[in-house]
A and B are shown apart, each in its own frame.
Chain A
């Protein structure tokens, strides 16, 4: 006789219950950037729409930022940490291969023994995590999931590099996903294009740094670590034109497909919140999608810069602060970045 297995009892639907934000408290303006690269405030604004970017102090960690945003989201959801049974952290800047930022965060918010893991999907990380949280809640595997997109990109940039560093910022945005009687998260469209693996990436692996340290120890000659042509600490690079083209025209198709899968049209939206990569990408995407006038477009990038996995929840958080009447409306969110990877869904704003 074969025993009958239990399976989790699924929830009818899921929704966002509350959001939170943490921004680095150091505001870096374009004048400061121009001390590192030969550029001007006007050039940077024209090409990127960025006036300032928020960066965190040296002693503030990814988990510190995540903790601040996560605590706000839990409180906004009307919960306390002990009611969170899964913690998902999307980040590419947690400086430990293991253990995860999520396990530390779960402990700090009082959610132990919640399930906890990190997701590496760069600027699509928040949308990947919302897709995962939606699946966990609707399958019945978790009841309340804390999702945090967090980056401390300032640890992984070369100030003198011109392709991407001057765009980048630090911050964390969080959302709690929980059960709902009516659908609050559409089917997610998530995918990748590894053919463009190098289009946005670190400029090398960490292994040469390990080897250089070993060589210095063996020979006593410091030059493997100090030679100016050796940049051993990997930092980010991008092929801007390739990324721009992919981000606008391929991602506009993904955004349209997401609306179709959600069974809604652009008319039904109150907001469009794309990853805050570059204002020109945001503007061109909005144009491609032919968004009606009433749709608010997330443009947090002007003041906050590009904070990768944190940018969508941060921009959404700002929209809800500036326009509380958007609460309860539908927002199309789409993240895209290094991998290349993308993720999108329509969510009902908390």
Chain B
């Protein structure tokens, strides 16, 4: 279990490792595709690494609903229950 700030920090580290983006750029309101320029393949790598890091399942059909960093943080927090 992690709070949303911890999830954001962890997610930012994953995004940094996949794309080289600075962790500070990964903010809740940022869109993965529009603002962070993350393509669908990188997104899937981020999703799988997030599943491992936060011990949650993010189904394929859910990934398309995660348009912003905040969406992903909320989903992970809910999935952790």
Contacts and interface: CB of A to CB of B under 8 A. Distances in A.
Q: Do A and B interact? A: yes
A240 B43 CA distance: 12
Of the candidates A241, A242, A284, the one having the most CB atoms from chain B within 10 angstroms of its own CB is: A241
Nearest to A245: B44
- Chain B binding surface SS class: helix
A296 interface: no
Contact of B40 (A241, A248, A249, A284): A241
Interface string A221-250: 000000000000000000111101100110
B60 A284 contact: no
A240 B40 contact: yes
Contacts of A249: 48
Contacts of B60: 239, 241-242, 245
A248 B49 CA distance: 12
B41 A47 contact: yes
A241 B39 contact: no
A107 interface: no
A264 B44 CA distance: 30
A186 B31 CA distance: 47
B39 A46 contact: yes
B39 A244 contact: no
A248 B41 CA distance: 11
A240 B40 CA distance: 8
B45 interface: yes
B72 to A, nearest CB: 15
A325 to B, nearest CB: 33
B78 to A, nearest CB: 21
A280 interface: yes
B36 interface: no
A284 B39 CA distance: 15
Nearest to B43: A241
Interface in B22-75: 39-41, 43-45, 47-48, 60, 63-64
A50 to B, nearest CB: 13
Contacts of A47: 39, 41
B66 to A, nearest CB: 12
Contacts of B40: 240-241, 244
Nearest to A280: B41
A278 B16 CA distance: 22
Contacts of B48: 245, 248-249
A240 B64 CA distance: 12
A241 B45 CA distance: 10
Interface in A249-280: 249, 278, 280
A241 B64 CA distance: 10
Contacts of A240: 40-41
B63 A284 contact: no
Contacts of A245: 44, 47-48, 60
A47 to B, nearest CB: 6
A284 B45 contact: yes
19 contacts: A46-B39, A240-B41, A241-B40, A241-B41, A241-B43, A241-B44, A241-B60, A241-B63, A241-B64, A244-B40, A244-B44, A245-B44, A245-B47, A245-B48, A245-B60, A249-B48, A278-B41, A280-B41, A284-B45
Interface of A: 46-47, 239-242, 244-245, 248-249, 278, 280, 284
**CB-based closest 6 A-B pairs:** A242-B60, A280-B41, A245-B44, A244-B44, A241-B44, A241-B40
Given A241-B44, A241-B64, 18 more contacts: A46-B39, A47-B39, A47-B41, A239-B60, A240-B40, A240-B41, A241-B40, A241-B60, A242-B60, A244-B40, A244-B44, A245-B44, A245-B60, A248-B45, A248-B48, A249-B48, A280-B41, A284-B45
